[in-house]
Amino acid sequence: MELVDEVRKGSVRALAKLITLVENEMPGGIEAMEKIYPLTGNAYIIGITGPPGAGKSTLTDRITKELRRQNHTVGIIAIDPTSPFTGGALLGDRVRMQGVSSDEDVFIRSMATRGSLGGLSRATSDTVKILDAYGKDYIIIETVGVGQDEVDIVRTADVSILVVMPGGGDDIQAIKAGIMEIGDIFVVNKADRDGADRLVTEIKMMLGLSSVEREWTPPIIKTVATEDQGIGTLVEKINEHRDFLIKSGMLACRRKERIRCEIIKMIEHEIYRYLDGLIAENKDFFEQRLEDIVNKKEDPYLLTKKTVETIAKRISKNANV
């Protein structure tokens, strides 16, 4: 609770400690978030996603510089993939954001996915809330860039920016299917390369073929982030999209849906922890069933059904609602 009070007073050190507390699920984390939650809802959340090598980190750096020129404070959450072997992560995005890392009004937090699917760490939404409560005007989430299935960002950000680049082989392969439908703004970065205009045309064609009805027509911005080209236009489109969401009432709808998804995820996580504990308590019984399944004396489907029924009965018996 002291950390929360210090965060409200503007302590950067307390901010970093509180994020670590929540990210590592340490004692007091949930109680801290209960105090944090009423202070949220003021920051605008920008999600930046796209295939690896598209220049997302450099683009994040340049967008942040432009927002700072407009006197806005910025929080950055840079997600890096976790090794399936060691559990570690490089967390190297800060290296590519040297231009803003020394700015006292910019807070950068690198986070590992820790096995989460969809491109985001499970603690990302809590970190967003903490930065929001701290008073950041804009919060930028840069995802790992895992490819076509990286769609969690649309459930977390107010505006989703899909970054692609020409010359990456099958350009359109990187932006097809589900990930194509999440973009509110499309950025063709490294637009000084051959094929940039062709890629813009292909994106326009795919947007025209999309079955998704849109009240907002996603703009396609060409940028060369390393040279600051197109960044001002991109920030203008971000703010235009924000105005559109507010006037249309869609911002409130998106945030309500975000809360719904967060609640479901938290419930799923608590059920998983309960199940993990239940299996640990009955390790010998579970190992015997596992051995029977391997020897084809039982099947995994029936065991799963019986386990779920047992858990449901326990929950029903102990439920207060």
Cβ partners under 8 Å of residue 30, min gap 6: none
Write down the pLDDT at residue 96.
57
pLDDT of residue 119: 43
- Angstrom CA distances, 195 to 158, 165, 228, 317, stand at 30, 9, 20, 63
Q: What share of the chain is helix, strand, coil (3-state, %, to 5)?
A: 55, 10, 30
pLDDT at 137: 97
Q: Residue 84's pLDDT is what?
A: 44
Q: What distance in Å separates the CA atoms of residue 207 and residue 137, rounded to the nearest whole number?
A: 31
Q: Using 50 as the pLDDT threshold, list the residues of the chain that sit under it.
A: 84-89, 115-119, 148-149, 170-171, 174, 321
Predicted TM-score (pTM) of this structure: 0.84
What pLDDT score was predicted for residue 176? Answer: 55
**Structure tokens, 238:** 């971000």
Q: Helix or strand or coil: residue 159?
A: strand
Which among 192, 191, 190, 186 is positioned nearest to 205, based on CA atoms? 186
Output the CA torsion 300→303→305→311 (10° steps): -130
Residue 221: the pLDDT is 96
Residue-level pLDDT at 219? 95
What is d(CA 290, CA 287) in angstroms, rounded to the nearest whole number? 5
The pLDDT score that the predictor gives to residue 14 is 94
The predicted pLDDT at position 118 comes to 43
**Backbone phi, then psi, for 106, in 5-degree steps?**
-120, 125
Calculate ∠ Cα 165-250-48, nearest 5°. 25
Domains of the chain: 40-259 (3.40.50.300), 260-318 (no CATH)
- Which pair of tokens denotes residue 85? 């072997």
User: DSSP characters for 8-36?
Assistant: HTT-HHHHHHHHHHHHTT-TTHHHHHHHH
The confidence score (pLDDT) of residue 187 equals 95
